[in-house]
Amino acid sequence: MRTTSRFSSCISCLLFPLEAMAEVKASLFCGVVAAVLSSAVFAFVEDLDDTFKDTRVNDIWLVDFYAPWCGYCKKLEPVWHDVGVELKTSGSPVRVGKMDATAYSGMASEFGVRGYPTIKLLKGDLAYNYKGPRTKDDIVEFANRVAGPAVRALPSKQMFEHMLKRHDVLFVYVGGESPLKEKYNDVASELIVYTYFFSAPEEVFPESVTLPELPAVVVFKDGGYFTYDEYEDASLSSWVNKERFQGYLQIDGFTLYELGETGKLVAIAVIDEKDPKEESGRLKTLIQRVAKEYRELFNRDFQFGHMDGNDYINSLIMGEVTVPSVIILNTSNEQYFLPSEPIETMEQLVQFINGVLNGSAQAYGGDGFIQRIKRVAFDARSTIMSVFRSSPLLGCFLFGLPLGVISLMCYGICTAESDDGSDDIDAHKREGLTDEEEEEEEECQRTPELEGPDEDEEDEAGEKDPDEKKTD
């Protein structure tokens, strides 16, 4: 497709008047060079069209569904090329392709593409969405993990030790054929997007590991191991989902988004890593200890961690948390909890967590109507602030000028009542902003006109394709 359009543009070059010939020659030369270069590119990343549906069946494909107008897709392009090179040169069976989802929108819909860029690994009937950071290493790791077997064997002590060193969280099935094993295989083939799954004979574990009965599913993490209990832990898939993180994490915006899928409340020490007074260090240690020592009590409902700096949390709660402090977030309904007084001791922290658990703690925020309005206003304000911060002159010009005109008009119209005009100004601010705001999002919406908070949510809720799960 690319080549034809390049040819046609060259043909149109020839229609230019003679005096432009020199320029045309230059551009033809560039075109040839580009064509040579891009044919090298195509060897690593294949340009897909609507024949893909029929030709893909025997291969495992990693596909970037992009839109030509989407800035995030452009940013991904060089990374994608590197991914193609890496997978090809390492001898991976995964073929790397990209598809202009606007040109083949029917295909894109069939694959459940809702935003751009969408990265999917297609393996037989299964389609796995990639949601992680868009770096070469992360994407290549994902491709290798998902393309391989859902459950990998650990036949020896050495292999087990080696994997234990490499992975912070290690799921292992122990035992022979059983219904639990079938369940484990199913869960693995679905959740392999997040983590590795292994199976091993009991002999490979160190002597300190004693399993009460076989078969068993065990997770090794946080310097210990924990066994899945069919009666207490509900379904294996929800248990894996809750156990796939270390008990204590350094949390950033992306981890928080990932943690949302576990349905756990997230207890965060908001700290300053460079705090000279070491208050931050104390609070971090406190929450680390609670995570470890109260695991039995809280692990089912809470994820623990710390965050460096309060910028992210502030924008999340549309307020200001002090540093250091503790905040508990309910990512399912966007509510949050703050301790009524600064936390100094372990007892206070445990009491605070208990209060959240038994419903006696005061909840703030939420995803109600008022909160949504507040969010819109807050986002508009922070966009204006960021424009001003990055280029004050442009900011003045963009917002100052219309504001000045509007206020002059308001002043003229309602010389007496001046307060009523403020809402209109807000609306204007918002209107003038849509472009910058698109930039703030991580992903471009499928239809550019349809952007808005609701569309966003759909994106997050409709995470997985129906065809992604083979079984439940």
Ligand X SMILES: *[C@@H]1O[C@H](CO)[C@@H](O)[C@H](O)[C@H]1NC(C)=O
Contact 29, 82 (CB under 8 A): no
Q: With respect to ligand X, which residue has the nearer C-beta, 256 or 265? A: 265
From 344, 352, 272, select the one nearest 304 (Cα to Cα): 352
Q: Which is nearer to ligand X, 148 or 355 (CB)?
A: 355
Smallest separation (angstroms) from ligand X to the CB of 363: 6
The helix/strand/coil state of 144 is: helix
DSSP code of residue 345 = S
Minimum CB–partner distance for residue 362 and ligand X (Å): 11
State the nearest-atom distance from the C-beta of 330 to ligand X, in Å: 4
Query: Which residues, other chains included, contact 306 with Cβ-Cβ below 8 Å and sequence gap of 6+?
Result: 250, 251, 268, 269, 270, 271, 283, 284, 287
Instruction: Identify which of residues 338 and 356 has a Cβ nearer to ligand X in the complex.
Output: 356
Residue whose CB is less far from ligand X, 201 or 355: 355
- Report if residue 92 touches ligand X, rule: CB under 6 A: no
> Of residues 73, 396, 410, 414, which has the active-site annotation?
73
Token code pair at residue 110: 């069939």
333 binds ligand X (CB under 6 A): yes
State the CB neighbour count (10 A cutoff) for residue 461. 8
Q: In angstroms, how far is CA 450 from the centroid of its own chain?
A: 21
Our CB check for ligand X shows the closer of 281 and 355 to be 355
Q: Is residue 70 annotated as part of the catalytic site, yes or no?
A: yes
The residue among 274, 365, 357, 372 whose CA lies nearest residue 321 is: 365
* Interacting residues with ligand X between 340 and 369 (CB under 6 A): 351, 354-356, 358, 360, 363
Taking CB under 6 A as the binding criterion, the range among 40-48, 198-206, 253-261, 325-333 that sits at the site for ligand X is 325-333
Report d(CA 118, CA 332) in Å as an integer.
24
> Cα–Cα–Cα angle for 252, 256, 258, nearest 5°?
120
- Reported as type and span, the H/E element at residue 242 is helix 236-243
Dihedral pair phi/psi, residue 449, rounded to 5°: -75, -25
Name which of 285 and 354 has its Cβ closer to ligand X.
Answer: 354
The secondary structure of 357-412 as a DSSP string is HTT-SPEEE-SSHHHHHHHHHHHHHHHHHHHHHH-HHHHIIIIIHHHHHHHHHHHH
Total binding residues toward ligand X, as defined by CB under 6 A? 12
Q: Which residues pair with 216 in a beta bridge?
A: 174
Residue 310 · residue 324 · CB < 8 Å:
no
Q: Pick from 199, 330, 383, 445: which binds ligand X (CB under 6 A)?
A: 330
Closest CA to 382 of 451, 437, 459, 425: 437
235, 332, 391, 434: residue in contact with ligand X (rule CB under 6 A):
332
CB of 227 or CB of 354, closer to ligand X: 354
Residues between 246 and 275 that touch ligand X (CB under 6 A): 265
* Three-state SS at 351: helix
**Smallest separation, CB 299 to ligand X (Å):** 15
Using the contact rule CB under 6 A, the part of the chain among 176-184, 326-334, 433-441, 460-468 near ligand X is 326-334
- Using CB under 6 A as the criterion, what x/- string covers residues 275-314 for binding ligand X? ----------------------------------------
Cβ of residue 285: shortest distance to ligand X, in angstroms? Answer: 21
**Catalytic residue (choose from 70, 396, 410, 414):** 70
3-class DSSP assignment, residue 306: strand
Smallest gap from residue 51 Cβ to ligand X (A): 45
Smallest separation, CB 290 to ligand X (Å): 13
**Catalytic status, residue 414:** no
**Positions marked catalytic:** 70, 73
**What are the residues binding ligand X (CB under 6 A)?**
265, 330, 332-333, 335, 351, 354-356, 358, 360, 363
